[in-house]
Every structure is written in structure tokens, then in C-alpha cells.
Amino acid sequence: MSKTPLKIAIAGLGTVGGGTVHLLHEQAELLAARAGRPLTLVGVAALARPLDLPLDGVPFFTDARAMAKDCDYDVLVELIGGADGIALDVVKTALGRGRSVVTANKAMIAHHGMELARLAETNGGNIGFEASVGGGIPIIKSLREGLSGNRVAKVMGILNGTCNYILTTMRDQGRDFGDVLAEAQALGYAEADPTFDIDGIDTAHKLAILASLAFAMPINLDGVACEGIRHVSALDIRYADELGYRIKLLGVAALIDGKVEARVYPAMVPLSFPLAHVSGPFNAIVTEGDFVGRTVLEGRGAGARPTASAVVADLMDLATGRTMPTFGVPVDRLTPRPAATAEAHRSAYYIRLMVKDQPGVFADIAAALRDEKVSMEQIIQRGRSPESTVPVVMTMHETDEASMLKAVARIKTLAAVEDLQLIRIENL
């Protein structure tokens, strides 16, 4: 075993930073045996020194920028978060010094990944970001290394534990979105401002990263169409159950005729597909390669210990010299690929309407679908209520999204229709 340690500096001692410190301390002998050298903390930075972390003798900085500039380290672990600001500053400083970086920061990678990869290549450093997608799930290594002998046609998954927890709880307890969101916030599962999670932005960041790795292309966050889960109701979830589906917020990227279709949206997933049974805060990711076929990875998508596990996996690669270009190949060899238009998407569809129970309503709805060449598969209506609206559920055969949206727009103008919700069906 070499006596030369891998010298590590950690910027950010929150949930993941603290978990990483604990893992490095508790598993020190195991890590050293597997790496053939010690992994040693030589500096940590936070606004205040935590008293509950094993940091005796480790130099402490209140200024992460100063640590990145002045500390003698081999790798800087950035766990501050945020696409810009101090997180980006310390990473650029470390890479500019020829050091390596490990980060869990999906927003920074999604927005600045190409720039940072070039900086690493220019100065001889490396970037590890396994913890940025899927928490403890080793999806970055799978795409960058394990599937390197495959042309990947599709990558998709449940990439946000907060949304999956909300949708699972809505189904299990029959409660509405707003009520479950408030509880998730009180329990700490959702942020005080949950916009990034429930509007799909967090999933879009992760999907842009996965698409880059899967299709050997530059990150294109602007090419990800994004829709969240605010409109999903307990009523929709009950009908999904009846129809044999679970509603999940999916991130889906597919390479089709040289174009990349990347979308985030709530979808009805058939019970026969593995993603339908991923519950609570868990994540799961499916890939489709031409030689290996379909692979499924599932695990905890967040939390101190799972995410710290992913951070240390990157540190172990650096400690043993297992390195490669940030996105699998050098930046100049990544192939730009055009984004497919959202209107070109093809899918089956679920529509739930609240309609006034009066003659002629179905004829008008059917006419709108017929005129846009949308074919209905089945319809569910129960009960009558002349004084109020009643739910009507329809599922459509696969059709192109442009036609479906035109039909929906026309149906919404009907005086008898007071509400309409559309959810895509993933017939996998």
C-alpha cells in the first residue's frame, strides 16, 4: 500500500457534506485497503464549524474560495449547491489549479458542464459527478463505462424523490396534491419553495446530464421540455389505478432519427413496467442499449448516506487512477444533436373532463377528436348529476401530440366542459 494519501478538501458541510465526512471517517480502513492508499481530509469549509462531525485536526475555513485557492489538496469536493455563485467559483479555481473536482451539483453540471469539462481537460484535472443524478444509484458510471460498448437509444426514469413521495402518498392515502405537499414540507421531504422539484426543473437538470452521457452529445438543457405535477389530482390517481397504471413524474430522453427527444412530464406507467412499483423517495433509471437491451437501476435518490456513497465512489476512482473524460469522450468529440419538437411526440393519452350532464356533450367531444384524427380507445362515465359536473375519463390510442393538443384546445372551448386534464400514457 502506498503511503501517499489522496488529499481531499470539502466545500460545504450540509447534509451531504456531513455524510461524506462520516463515511470517510467510519470506512477509512476499508477505503484505504481498496484504494491502496489513504483518503485524507486536508481541509473543510463552511460558515460555521459543525460540532457533530469527526474533524479533529482538519484545517477549517469559513471562506470556501480561500480554501480552494490556498489549501494543498488533490481533489476538491463541492457540496455547496447552486448553479452559480460560490459553488461555481470554487470549482473553477480548483480546476484552474490543475486539481480534480467531485460534486453532487446537478444544476451546475447542467448549466456549466461543458465549460468545466474543457477547463479540466486544459489543466489536467478530472470531474466526478456520480452524486449529481440518482443519489446512490451508480448511473453515471453505468452510462460512461458499463454501457460504453452499446449505442444507447433511450434513458428514462424517476429522478426526483420528492415528487415520487408526493404521488405515492396521494395514491396510498387518497389525498390531494396540496395537502400532501404541505405535509412533505413539514417533514423536510420538500423545500419551503418546492418549485424546482414539483415543476420538474430538478428532473430536467438530471435528464440533460443523462442525455449527454447516453448520446455522446453536449448538454442541452434548453432542449428539455418540462412539465410538473401540480395538476395531478387524487381523482386522476384513482382512475389510473382502475386502468392499470401508476402516475409517475418521468424524465425521458430518446434518440430518434438523429434527433433527441428529451421531456419531463407526469405519465401513466403500466403496472407491468418496473418503474410503476418504485415508491416513496426512491429513484429508478432505465436504459436501453443495442447489445445489452434494457437495464434497470433502483435505489435511494437522496439523503446523506446514499449521496455520500456516490461522492466517495468518485473519490475512489481518483485514488486508484481510474479516470476518463468528464462526459465519456473529450468535449470536442461530443456530437451536437438537434432537439426533436415537442409536437412530434407520439403517445397514448388519458383525458379527464368535468362536464355538465346535458344532451349533445359527447357528440361535440367526439367531433373534436374525429376532426383531428384522434382515435378513442375507451371511455368511463359513472353517475348522473344534472345540477353539477360529472367526471368523464377517456383514453386515446397512440397519436402525435400536435393533433392531440389541437383536439384538447377545441374541447376546452365547449360550454359544457368545465375542466380538462391530460396525462400521457407510456405504453412500454
3-state secondary structure of 85: helix
Q: Report the candidate in 158, 183, 396 with the shortest Cα–Cα distance to residue 265.
A: 158
Give bridge partners of residue 420 from the DSSP assignment. 353
* Cα–Cα distance, 289 to 422 (Å, whole number): 31
Residue ranges of E strands in 104-165: 127-128, 152-158
Answer for the pair 390, 355: CB distance below 8 angstroms, yes or no.
yes
CA 294 to chain centre: 19
* Cα–Cα distance, 77 to 91 (Å, whole number): 9
Write the DSSP string, 10-67: EE--SHHHHHHHHHHHHTHHHHHHHHTS-EEEEEEE-SS--SSS--TT--EES-HHHH
Cell 353539477 sits at which residue?
388
Answer for the pair 284, 368: CB distance below 8 angstroms, yes or no.
no
Q: What is the largest CA-CA distance in the chain?
A: 84
Q: Give the full edge-to-edge strand order of the sheet including 75-78.
A: 60-61, 39-45, 6-11, 75-78, 100-103, 127-128
Answer for the pair 31, 316: CB distance below 8 angstroms, yes or no.
yes
C-alpha cell at 169: 402518498
User: Catalytic positions, please?
Assistant: 206
Tell me the helices (H) and strands (E) count for the chain, helix number first: 14, 16
Answer for the pair 218, 224: CB distance below 8 angstroms, yes or no.
no
Which amino acid type is present at position 75? V
Give every CB contact of residue 115 below 8 A, 6+ residues apart in sequence: none
C-alpha cell at 281: 423517495
C-alpha cell at 61: 475555513
Q: Report the candidate in 10, 15, 23, 125 with the shortest Cα–Cα distance to residue 76.
A: 10
* Cα–Cα distance, 131 to 128 (Å, whole number): 8
* Cα–Cα distance, 285 to 267 (Å, whole number): 15
